[in-house]
Amino acid sequence: MESTAPLLQLDNEPSPSSPLPAPHEAEGDYSPEASKTFKDFIRFVFWKETVKLWKIGGPIAITLLCQYGTNTLTTIFVGHLGNLQLSAVSVSLSVIVTFAFGFLLGMGSALETLCGQAFGAGQVHMLGVYLQRSVIILFVSCIILSPIYIFAAPILKVVGQEDDLSNLAGKFSILVLPNLFSLSIYFPTQKFLQAQRKVGVLSVIAFATLLLHAFWLWLFIYELGLGATGAAIAVDLTGWTTSLAQAVYVMVWCKEGWRGFSWAAFKDIWSFVTLSLASAVMLCLELWYMMSIVILTGHLSNAQLEYQWH
């Protein structure tokens, strides 16, 4: 947290004059009578804390389920096209897309730290600046990660995947490249809203786009007969729909945290980069662990069937 302190002092604009609540009014404080007996503890402390937890954690859990449900629905629909298509799309989503997703998730999580710090300190006016700065950094990161999508086929061949599977997975990876750039808006706006406990709107957007994704998969794969190409188009549309919906909500309904575009987003950007990289290293390794399992599966006999099992 020490490295982030200077970032909070960037702007000279005065912070809103909204006094913090007195200690006895702060959320989470309980009177001594609340824990005199076990029954009082359950009623006044345990139950209230449980409700608070579900109010915040419940919508976040729904958002994550819908987020991972997008890839699951994609593989389910593609599975009706054939074993090769299913294996290729699974490899593309589990290896290429997951590699970039994990890195960008870690980079975007730095914003969660700074926004939470600014919100807790009453400097709500800084949230929009941090949001814009994160979008800039993640967009540049997407450009750096683009060659992994473009050269996915030779990369998969180098790590020992079959030629037919690698070629089809490489084609699918190129087609879902637009979805990569949607993450540069998706993660910053998501962390921006989570820091202010506006998680309900995230779950609503995620659930609505999941339903849209199912419709687009049915339309492009079955009705229009585009096959794996249709699945890639559906992934791109879903990614950008979710990201733009979150961005519109931030700019229209979050007047306190969002005060328009500012040149301050470009100030002291390197400090933000170093914090983002440190956050990326901590978080992306967990997702890359699962990616390595899928890569190792390609070295088994009957690799296509093994991919489907995973």
How many whole angstroms separate alpha carbon 98 and alpha carbon 169? 13
pLDDT attached to residue 302: 55
**Apex CA 51: angle with CA 188 and CA 251, to 5°?**
25
pLDDT attached to residue 17: 41
Cα torsion at 266, 272, 274, 276 (round to 10°)?
Answer: -120
The string of DSSP letters for 171-239 reads HHHHHTHHHHHHHHHHHHHHHHHHHTT--HHHHHHHHHHHHHHHHHHIIIIIIS--THHHHHHHHHHHH
**Segments in the chain below pLDDT 70:** 1-36, 38, 40-41, 43-44, 290, 294, 296-310
Provide the sign of the torsion angle of the four alpha carbons 95, 99, 102, 105, taken in this order.
Answer: negative
pLDDT attached to residue 53: 86
| Tokens, residue 234 | 């559906």
pLDDT attached to residue 13: 44
Phi-psi region of 197 (alpha: psi -120 to 50; beta: other; left: phi over 0): left
pLDDT attached to residue 257: 86
pLDDT attached to residue 219: 97
How many whole angstroms separate alpha carbon 222 and alpha carbon 178? 22
pLDDT attached to residue 208: 97
| Tokens, residue 65 | 């389920």
pLDDT attached to residue 298: 59
Do 75 and 90 touch, CB atoms closer than 8 A? Answer: yes
- Please tell me the pTM assigned to this model: 0.81
pLDDT attached to residue 11: 46
pLDDT attached to residue 23: 39
